[in-house]
Amino acid sequence: MTFAVHGLPVARGIAIGRAVLVVSSRIDVAHYFIKPEEIETEIDRVRTARNAVADELTKLQANVAQMGPNDAPHELAALLEVHQMLLQDEALTGGVKHWISERLYNAEWALTTQLEIIARQFDEMEDAYLRERKADLEQVVERLLHRMKGTAAVLAPSPPRRKRAATDDDNDDPTAGDGIDVPLVLIAHDLSPADMLQFKKSVFAGFVTDVGGRTSHTAIVARSMDIPAVVGARSASQLIQQDAWDIIEGDAGVLLVDPSPLILAEYGFKQRQGELERERLNRLRNTPSLTLDDQRVELLANIEMPGDTAGAVKAGAMGVGLFRSEFLFMGRSGNLPGEEEQYLAYKAAIEGMNGLPVTIRTVDIGSDKPLERGGKSQDTHLNPALGLRAIRWSLADPPMFLTQLRAILRAAVHGPVNLLVPMLAHGSEIRQTMTLIDRARVALDNSGVAYGNVRLGAMIEIPAAALTLKLFLKYFDFLSIGTNDLIQYTLAIDRADEAVSHLYDPCHPAVLRLIADTIAECNAQGKGVSVCGEMAGDISMTRLLLGLGLRSFSMHPSQILAVKQQVLRADAAKLKPWADEILASEDPAALLQD
Ligand code: PEP
Ligand code: MG
């Protein structure tokens, strides 16, 4: 029976596919399709690993048998016996074979998929003893995965296959005609931004997570992938069965589970309409970004990795307005990138933009962007968003920060670079940052290493910064408004918490006032100002921001053409009085819809 799960819209469009339930801790497992002729080899890899683990367990059992009861309690022998049984269990082995031969999943993916199915059955058991065996099964699978490491025959995974939408036949007979082309959607309780990044070039046609707010960094990465996504869907990962058909309606933030053939047909039609609309927008790629009254509007790209510049250029971006450099630092078990590695990454981004400016933001680790995979639960601080994050983290570790600064300065030899500093609030932080930038230059001078000029910018993300603009403009060449955090800190709403997401309001009069004043002050002083938060890519906000005097927008490449369409239809001069009216209103959102 069809049912709907509601969450928060993140990335537009419709995805139709079978559910792949993934537990965050198992994201590291490779997900790729094998070729039909590789089925036997892949099943063999599992068989070999199973035999090796069985031997391992047998040896352990023998050792335990030789120990006295004081060294090895009786429970240990019983536990190893259980592990042997689980290892040979037909539910596990048969299921794994099914995913490999019917769906062409690689062995590791097949194993974790089957684990999720059996684990759920354990969860539902009434008997507490049996319920606890889930942990044993997980350990057995971990052993198998460990054994399979380095044995994959396929070094380069097959290319993503996201194409074919579900048909009525598929719905009538869940196994009919599928195999290599079946579209898949990923369902997880939580994914950290680093997890999400893993899926950037993946096979998945859409994403759903139980937790997260619209501007959480996980949502931001999902949006940058330009595939339909919903976050904050609460218990979606509990309600949906592995392999069930789902429709993700990204624009509405809705997930339809087990859709009927009629619903599938309707959404298949909507999906095609969306594709046609995108094709129409593509025609604007080379159209100059000018308003009806000839105001030039700069449309820039937000990127996470150097490779994202290809998409930015393709979408007609006039530069990179925000390179979130922290994605180079995440998911590396604390092994931070050194100067050379960073230099090469920044150089690649600069070269990828072919002479267009690249704004590199210094690292913004912390809060919902932990260094390690596995989500925010790792952060034991009570208020991580108010803690040691972004520039605070950098200033707390000067050697780490200097390494990054040197790498950025060196990369600036290869093209125009803006260096952007996140989350500044205090004059002392600004001065310390300036001192460290000077020190980085001196260090490069002393060692005779070439470096380039950079324009220096500060992000306006904290109300305190927006209220002390003169101080910021004394030191910086340009400002970039990070509306995601500015909203979070102005309204005291955790941007990653779905429980308060209804109060996360970009149109709150206080938020609009801070944005308006920042733009006006920069324009008055002839300093550059742009918006690089999600608001810049939200087409319902384009006219208002133009009316407030903004002429530089930075967003995910996928949103550039839709925003350009708004720019082309706008008369900036006429929008000014309308924007002033909205600013003065006690309910701006209502006026915005007019
Ligand atoms: C912002 O806060 O608006 C911003 C662009 O930075 P991030 O989303 O990475 O915190
Ligand atoms: Mg921010």
pLDDT digits (tens, 9 = 90+) for 353-385: 999 999 999 999 988 887 875 544 455 667 889
Q: How confident is the model at residue 175 (pLDDT cuts 50, 70, 90)?
A: very low
Please report where in the chains the tokens 């994959």 appear, as a residue: 152
State residue 152's pLDDT score. Answer: 65
Mutate to test the pocket of ligand 1, among 10, 216, 495, 532 (most ligand atoms within 8 A of CB): 532
Residue of the CA atom closest to atom 6 of ligand 1:
482
> What letter represents residue 275's amino acid?
E
Mean pLDDT of 90-94: 93
Identify the pLDDT of residue 368: 80
Residue nearest to atom 3 of ligand 1 (CA): 482
Mean pLDDT of 121-125: 87
Pairing of strands 245-249, 417-421: unpaired
Whether 506 contacts 542, CB under 8 Å: no
Rounded percentage of the chain residues whose pLDDT exceeds 90: 70
Phi and psi at residue 545, to the nearest 5°: -65, -35
pLDDT of residue 430: 98
Q: Which CATH class is domain 36-148?
A: mainly alpha
Residue ranges of domains in the chain: 3-24+160-279, 36-148, 286-592
- Confidence at 68, pLDDT banded by 50, 70, 90: low
CB atoms within 10 A of CB 477: 14
What pLDDT, on a 0 to 100 scale, did the predictor assign at position 174?
35
Tokens of 46: 């599992």
pTM of structure: 0.83
Per-residue CA distances from 160 to 141, 156, 167, 203, 272 (Å): 26, 11, 20, 4, 20
Rounded mean pLDDT, 452-463: 98
**What positions carry a catalytic annotation?**
217, 532
Quick one: pLDDT at residue 306? 97
What's residue 524's pLDDT? 98
- DSSP structural state of residue 181: T
pLDDT confidence tier of residue 168, bands split at 50, 70 and 90: very low
Give the mutation target among 364, 376, 495 for probing the ligand 1 site: most ligand atoms within 8 A of CB: 364
Ligand 2 centroid to residue 43 C-alpha, Å? 46
Q: How far is CA 325 from CA 46, 341, 342, in A?
A: 38, 12, 9
Atom of ligand 1 nearest to the CA of 532: 5
The DSSP output letter for 363 is P
Coil vs helix vs strand at 555: strand
- CB of 218 sitting under 6 A from ligand 1: no
Structure tokens at 335: 């092994």
User: For 370-433, what is the HEC assignment?
Assistant: CCCCCCHHHCCCCCHHHCCCCHHHHHCCHHHHHHHHHHHHHHHHHCCEEEEECCCCCHHHHHHH
Q: Range with the lowest mean pLDDT among 18-32, 147-161, 244-258? A: 147-161
- What average pLDDT does range 522-543 have in this prediction? 97
Kind of pairing, strands 358-361 and 417-421? parallel
Distance 115 CA to ligand 2 centre (A): 37
Q: Is the pLDDT of residue 173 over 50?
A: no
228 lines ligand 1 (CB under 6 A): no
Candidates 275, 359, 351; CA nearest to 313 is: 351
Domain 286-592 annotated CATH 3.40.50.620: no
The CATH-assigned architecture of domain 3-24+160-279 is 3-Layer(bba) Sandwich (3.50)
pLDDT tens readout for residues 425-439 = 999 999 999 999 999
Residue 321's H or E segment, with its range, is: strand 320-324
Q: Is 364 in the pocket of ligand 1 (CB under 6 A)?
A: yes
The reported pLDDT for the residue numbered 197 is 73
Task: Give dist(CA 119, CA 129) in Å, integer.
Answer: 14
Q: What is the mean pLDDT of residues 37-46?
A: 95
**Residue with the nearest Cα to atom 8 of ligand 1?**
484
Cβ 485 under 6 angstroms from ligand 1? yes
pLDDT digits (tens, 9 = 90+) for 186-233: 998 888 777 777 777 677 899 999 988 888 888 888 888 888 999 999
